[in-house]
Each structure stands twice: as structure tokens, then as C-alpha cells.
Structure 1
Amino acid sequence: MDGIVRNWVDGWVVSRGAAPPAVEPWGWTIDVGLAHHVSRHVFAATNDEVDEATVRKVADSVTGAGIWLKVFAEPSRVGPWLGDGWWVDPEPGRLMSVRLRTSRRPGTHETPAAVPDGYRLRTWSSGGVTRVMVAAPDGSWAARGQIAPTGATAVVDQIETSPDHRRRGLGTVVMRTLTQAALEQGAEVGVLGGTPDGRALYESLGWRVDAPLTSAKFTGRP
């Protein structure tokens, strides 16, 4: 399972333009460089292998605001391990994966999913990341997402649909377009850290849950 976590870390770093992950005895530290997200500590253990003493030790060593923890266990379990100054996202995320498969018919150049009438799909790649944008009929933003292939694995990231354009299949269009792009670059497996809102979409496309994901942010002690 730690292989999936490492694959997620490697692809996420490429996707976000973060610093190369520094190896720790318990996982990895990634410098992100944003005011609200300075660095993140990602633990390699998942599910029952997550160790309370290790998480407590790492959390207690944090002194600056804007440091995040990513722990592959339920928030209800991880929350009580953290001291003052930690905000814990009450919504449990999920580490998910899938064997990538094409949705194009052989010998065609069709887009992987039909774009609703009036909407415009655009895809481009830069710095090892492929991005997809769907524009609404009036030209405003409707949906987006990106994927970072790193060898045989590709990390899906920042999938989002505007509240004004949901339930029109745009999430599926984005996901299938990204999947096709990753396959064309040699990727075989997809990995993502999903939110509760996105879980239904991912599962409808064949993704499976490998572990829960707790996100916690240090805001500073009184």
C-alpha cells in the first residue's frame, strides 16, 4: 500500500509544482511554498498500520502555521491524537486508484466523452501536467481538472465543477479526457486523493477506495 502513497506523492508534486519530497522515517515532507500551505507531512502507513505515537510525534514537532498533515486513517481516529492549534477537516477524504482504460473506439479520434451542446472542451499540457477546461456556453468556467503521469502511474488532481453546471456530465468528460491523455503517455494506473463530493463520480468510473484520508492544518497555538 505504501507504493500507492508514494505514487500519489510523486504525481502530486509534479501536478502542483512543489519541491521534491524529502524522505522521512515515517513518510515524506513536501515544501509547497504557499502562505496557507507552506509544507505538508505525508505518512506512508495506511489503515490499521497508521501508528498513533508516530503521528503525535510529528504533529507535536510542528511549530509554524500553514503546515499540513496527510494521514491515511479516519478523521475521527486521527483528530484526538493532535494537540492545540490543529484544524482537522471533518470530511473524510479517500485515497483511490483504478486501472486506466481507454474510452475511445479503436481507429477514431473522438473525444472520450460527449461534451454537452454549447460547452467547449480544451486540453493542453505543460511541465508534465495535462489540464482540461470546460467552458460554459457563455464562455465562463464550468469544469476543470489535471493529471500528472509519472511513469506507469498518473495522479488525477483538482477536479472541480462549477455549482451552476453540475449534473450535466462535465465531471465525467473531464475524467475521461484526462484518462485518455495519461494512457497516451504510457500510464497504466490512476491514483487520486478524493473529497466526499467527488467520490460518487470516481466510483461510477470504476475507481476503488484504498484508504481513508485525513487532512489536518496547523493554525498556531494560543
Structure 2
Amino acid sequence: MVTADSDSLAPLAPASSLRERVEEAIAAAIVSGQMPAGEVFSAPTLAARFGVSATPVREAMLNLAKRGLVDIVRNKGFRVTAVSESELRAIVDVRQLLEAPAVRRLAGGLSKADLTRLRGLAEEIVRGARDADLTHYLQADTTFHLTLLELAGNPRLHDIVADLRAQTRLTGLADMVATEELQASAREHLDLLDLLEAGAAEECEHLMVRHIGHVLGWWAGHTEA
């Protein structure tokens, strides 16, 4: 059994919902490749790394199993599930088909309050990239994209994309810490907001297609043109 001895799994600060904090931290570690696919982790070992008791970790891992991020291995712990490149490509194709046109329709139609809220989230993404805080980066990124879809006014679209994001793996993200590529990816959220505010619909759509494509490029550890 592989133990979680990575320095990236830092102790967590107390929170009102510790199980949720643990769950999102572990999910971020799985999505970013810090906890590699195929490896088995025990609740007590992860609890020691996070500086919490085993109970919230076990509860978090059971929830992650329902989300498909881990499988339960009897008497051993939890195995991180894998997503093949072909599956990732299919996820990217569907996201580009759904999200890019939705963002295009939002161009020029967002209120000042909506833009201010989104800009705050975009700045959180930039801050997460700058501070090498992948958990914060991924949480802010997810909230940003799903908020855009909420504003598009289609709940089914929001739920479908949320599910697709939960299935995504960004196996090269952990190696992108402190790189210009991660900073550039983060800044694209601010660029998108500038285009949305300016009503540049076509440019918004193109930027979203390119941004989602990072799943198969930078965020997968591949070079992009």
C-alpha cells in the first residue's frame, strides 16, 4: 500500500465543516495528480498528513467514492480511479460544445454586480496560481465556471458540466506550480471577463474553447502551441 507522504498534503486549518474541507482538499489532490491514479491510500495515513482524525477523512473518501474519484479497497483503504486520455478527450469535446456557446450568449449581457462577483473569483484563481495553492485554485476555478453557467440560466447545463468536471483529471497540474503556463491559464479568466464586458461574443467563445482545451494540454503535462 502506498502511503501519502507528499509535502503537498498539508495540515488543514479548523473549519465549520471539516469533512467538506477534507473532501475538497483530497479531490484537488486527485484531480491535480498529487494523489496518482491506481495508488491506495488509507484513511489513518491521510488523516495524519492533514492533521485531523480519521473519521472526517473516512467520510470524505466515502463521498469521493460516490463521485467516482476513488474505489473502496476492502481492508486496505481507497484506490484513486483513473480516467483514460480518450475519456478526457470526450469530456473536453462535450464541454467545449456546451460551455463555449453559453459564454458567447452572455457577452454584453452581464450586470455590473455579476461582473464584479466573477472578477473576484477570477482574482482568487490568479492568487491560487501565484501562491501555488492548487486546492484554492481548483475550487475558485470550479466556482467561476459554474457561476457563468448559472448566469446562462440553464440548470441542466450547469449540472451536466459540474458532473463532467468531477470526472476530469489534470494529471500535470501539480508539476505546473510556479510556472508561467499556470499563471497564463489563471489570467485567462480575467481576459474572458474583459471580453464579456465588452460584448465581444466571438472572442469569448474562442477563448473558452482554448481554455477548456488546456485539459489535454498544459493541465495534462503536454506542450501547447
Q: TM-score range by the shorter chain?
A: 0.3 to 0.5
Point out the structure with the larger strand share.
Answer: 1
Point out the structure with the larger helix share.
Answer: 2
| TM-score w.r.t. length of structure 1 | 0.33
| TM-score w.r.t. length of structure 2 | 0.33
